[in-house]
A and B are shown apart, each in its own frame.
Chain A
């Protein structure tokens, strides 16, 4: 089955800095790569996703880049704010989604 590795497990930044979270996967048939944000005690919610026919996608302060050859993709958050503090999960799939173990992002004022 699919194997997803996510790094780092914890990331601390100062407000205004950029944050980058990386994921690698194993199944070359996977074609859907979403990122979810989960605030403490709440449900995960999609923040951005990308399909395998696209190399990069941007939505305001967040962006995702995909390298299908190397089987890795990354989440980039620019100008971080305290409300960006949460756990972020990458996921990979074709018919179902396999999730990474998550990255706890802490943004200090």
Chain B
């Protein structure tokens, strides 16, 4: 069966510090991978998605970046965090292919920027 792991679960960071959130998927090959952010009252906002190693599509221009160094690894980064980066970050995967299907979410990372 497939599983998705995301870490860290919680972190508190000062403004201007770097960020690295990591996500790995097990039990499948060549998944589509996604990073979503959930802010209170605003639903889930797609930040980045990837259909393969090194292929990253950005949906929202901001000071975040994503990388996919391996087939089942997806990393969300920032060089300098802003207060507005606070939120609940969710990694997700779906079966590969052009048409989207069910998203399987990780347990999320709650980021507080002070």
- Contacting residues, chain B, for A93 (C-beta < 8 A): 100
If A43-B107, A44-B105 touch, whether A102 touches B100 (CB-CB below 8 Å) is no
- Contacting residues, chain A, for B42 (C-beta < 8 A): 101
> Of B49, B90, B98, B102, which one neighbours A49 at CB under 8 angstroms?
B102
Interface residues in A83-105 (C-beta closer than 8 Å to B): 89, 91, 93-102
- Contacting residues, chain B, for A44 (C-beta < 8 A): 44, 90, 103, 105
If A43-B107, A43-B108 touch, whether A89 touches B100 (CB-CB below 8 Å) is no
Interface size on A, residues (CB 8 A): 24
A39 to B59, CA, bound (A): 26
B54 within 8 A of A: no
If A89-B43, A89-B44 touch, whether A97 touches B103 (CB-CB below 8 Å) is yes
Contact indicator B100/A32 (Cβ below 8 Å): yes
If A43-B90, A43-B108 touch, whether A99 touches B98 (CB-CB below 8 Å) is no
Contact indicator B98/A95 (Cβ below 8 Å): yes
Contact indicator B46/A98 (Cβ below 8 Å): yes
Closest B residue, CB atoms, query A101: B43
Chain B nearest CB, measured from A66 CB (Å): 16
- Contacting residues, chain B, for A100 (C-beta < 8 A): 43
Contact indicator A94/B105 (Cβ below 8 Å): no
B41 within 8 A of A: yes
Contact indicator A96/B99 (Cβ below 8 Å): no
A8 to B59, CA, bound (A): 26
- Contacting residues, chain A, for B59 (C-beta < 8 A): 96
**What is the interface of chain A, defined by CB distance below 8 A to chain B?**
6, 9, 31-32, 34, 36, 42-46, 49, 89, 91, 93-102
7 contacts between A and B (CB under 8 A): A6-B43, A32-B99, A32-B100, A44-B90, A95-B100, A101-B42, A101-B43
**What is the interface of chain B, defined by CB distance below 8 A to chain A?**
34, 36, 41-46, 49, 59, 90, 98-103, 105-108
Q: Apart from A31-B99, A43-B106, list 10 A-B contacts with CB within 8 A.
A: A32-B99, A43-B90, A46-B102, A46-B103, A91-B44, A96-B34, A99-B44, A99-B45, A101-B41, A101-B42
